[in-house]
């Protein structure tokens, strides 16, 4: 009698783990009729929320980054985007680039994290292209890592856009204290309004 009970408990635990790992994917969607050409250009990371331990440890020290989204160089494939991010780290401006490869319907991408060595899936869930974009990222190998990001075309998004991001992040399961609006820094964003 102990063996069936142990098997049942194991199945319940596996089921619970599956449920805990899949909500991020189940909750993800993309902007209807996503227009990649309108998504290109300069954005500022005006809002972030994440369950990653590094984020929780360093969120008070984060500052706004700029990101330039452009078509990838020829030979990378159709629909591939090159994202070049500039940010302040240790009082120096750093720039990193990554390739977002189409991974489903338009607005859904994946990339390999050079730092973590894992695949990240990114969905552009909502955007008006001219003012804001709401992105959702899930790490497929990072023990349940997920992140919500507010891209803004300006360094000072309107209060309504910030509220929209807070609501979006909370719908993704983040608590209010997980939501950060990094302050801008003139050092790495100079000349990029």
For 169-193, the pLDDT digits (tens) are: 999 999 988 899 998 877 777 544 3
Burial letters 5-44, b for 16+ CB under 10 A, else e:
eeeeeeeeeeeeeeeeeeebeeebebbeebebeebeeebb
Nearest to 149 by CA among 52, 61, 75: 52
The one catalytic residue among 65, 93, 108, 188: 65
CATH superfamily, domain 2-189, is: Calycin beta-barrel core domain (2.40.128.20)
93 tagged catalytic: no
Q: Are 46 and 151 in contact (CB under 8 A)?
A: yes
User: Using one digit for the tens of pLDDT, what is the confidence trace for 69-126?
Assistant: 999 988 888 899 999 988 887 778 888 898 999 999 999 999 987 766 778 899 999 9
Asked whether the predicted pLDDT for residue 8 surpasses 60, the reply is no
pLDDT higher than threshold 80 for residue 15: no
Domain extents in the chain: 2-189
pLDDT at 30: 94
pTM: 0.81
User: And the tokens for 173?
Assistant: 């399961």
Phi, psi angle pair for 90, to nearest 5°: 55, 45
């Amino acid at each position: 009698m102990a063996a069936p009970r142990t098997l049942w408990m194991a199945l319940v635990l596996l089921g619970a783990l599956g449920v805990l790992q899949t909500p991020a994917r189940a909750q993800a969607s993309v902007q209807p009729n996503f227009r990649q050409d309108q998504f290109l250009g300069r954005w500022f990371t005006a809002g972030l929320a994440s369950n990653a331990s590094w984020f929780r440890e360093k969120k008070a020290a984060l500052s706004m980054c700029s990101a330039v989204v452009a078509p990838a160089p020829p030979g990378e494939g159709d629909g591939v985007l090159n994202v070049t991010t500039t940010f302040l780290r240790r009082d120096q401006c750093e720039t990193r680039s990554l390739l977002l490869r189409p991974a489903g319907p338009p607005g859904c991408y994946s990339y390999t994290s050079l730092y973590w060595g894992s695949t990240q899936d990114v969905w552009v869930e909502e955007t008006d292209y001219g003012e804001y974009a709401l992105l959702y990222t899930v790490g497929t190998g990072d023990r349940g890592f997920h992140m919500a990001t507010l891209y803004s075309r300006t360094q000072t998004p309107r209060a309504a856009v910030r509220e929209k991001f807070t609501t979006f992040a909370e719908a993704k399961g983040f608590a209010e204290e997980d939501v950060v609006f990094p302050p801008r820094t003139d050092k790495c964003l100079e000349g990029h309004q």
